[in-house]
Amino acid sequence: MARSALLNVMVEAARKAARSLTRDFGEVENLQVSVKGPSDFVSAADRKAEQILQQELARVRPGYGFLMEEGGVIEGTDPQHRWIIDPLDGTTNFLHGIPMFSVSIALERQGTIVAGVVYNPAMDELFVAERGGGAFLNDRRLRVSKRSALADCVIGTGIPHLGRGDHPAYLKRLQKVMNEVAGVRRCGSAALDLCWVAAGRFDGFWESDLSPWDIAAGILMIREAGGFVTDLDGRDKMLETGTVVAGNEDIHRRLQAIL
């Protein structure tokens, strides 16, 4: 595929940050004897990758603002553009040596996501999308699943854990979905989950209590792959509400109605 100069910048930044994460991922097996402990180790890896992303993107687009998981909001001199960054989506997977984590970068222009990159270095899978230009995995064009019967579908989700989310409400939704579908999967990285919907690996996906950096790039991937994404109430307010429901037109509609 032919990438724009802007998308090339995002890809190179993601790959550079991913190289840092990959080196740290190789040290996961030593975490049990770490003096500082595993949580401090992962936090350091996260911050280091975010610093790389910020430096690389600011170097080529110095006026753009940032919304980052670790660094928060940084206002730019160009109020129309903002980078939305998650340097390590799938922190728990990373900590446990599970090769399902990603670097996620989205570019927001006047409130609309116009470009996205999600890279899983452990599997060397690079997902990219530009508004109006399609979505791709390692240069292969992506399309969402064509399945229309929920009974044939595998649906991805995120499961609330200790200290996070409304567990009873989630279990009610899960039970409803379980009764309708062929399978439910939880992989641990919302950014990758959304990309997997774009790639047709998952037929649909839902999750709550998400942050903008978890989903911004993935939302564009699905839309550019011909899919539909809304919040749980069917609105285009995913970044504000932190909820997301996704799939092709039929599955999105049926899944959203169940939830």
Consult the annotation and say whether 137 binds a ligand: no
Least reliable range by pLDDT among 20-29, 159-168, 188-197: 20-29
Residue 33 has pLDDT above 90, yes or no: no
pLDDT at 24: 86
Residue 30's pLDDT band (boundaries 50, 70, 90)?
low
- Measured torsion, CA atoms of residues 71, 115, 165, 50, in degrees rounded to the nearest 10: -30
Residue 258's pLDDT band (boundaries 50, 70, 90)?
very high
**The dihedral of CA 120, 124, 128, 134: what is its sign?**
negative
- Please state the pTM of the whole predicted model: 0.93
pLDDT at 259: 94
Report phi then psi at 176, rounded to 5: -65, -45
At 34-82, the pLDDT tens digits run 444 555 556 788 899 999 999 999 999 999 999 998 889 999 999 999 9
pLDDT at 131: 97
Sketch out the chain's domains with CATH numbers.
5-141 (3.30.540.10), 150-258 (3.40.190.80)
Q: How many C-beta neighbours within 10 Å does residue 77 have?
A: 9
pLDDT at 95: 84
Consult the annotation and say whether 69 binds a ligand: yes
Consult the annotation and say whether 67 binds a ligand: no
Better-predicted residue by pLDDT, 29 or 91: 91
Consult the annotation and say whether 88 binds a ligand: yes
Residue 32's pLDDT band (boundaries 50, 70, 90)?
very low
Least reliable range by pLDDT among 6-20, 24-38, 88-102: 24-38
Provide the mean pLDDT of the chain: 93
Consult the annotation and say whether 86 binds a ligand: yes
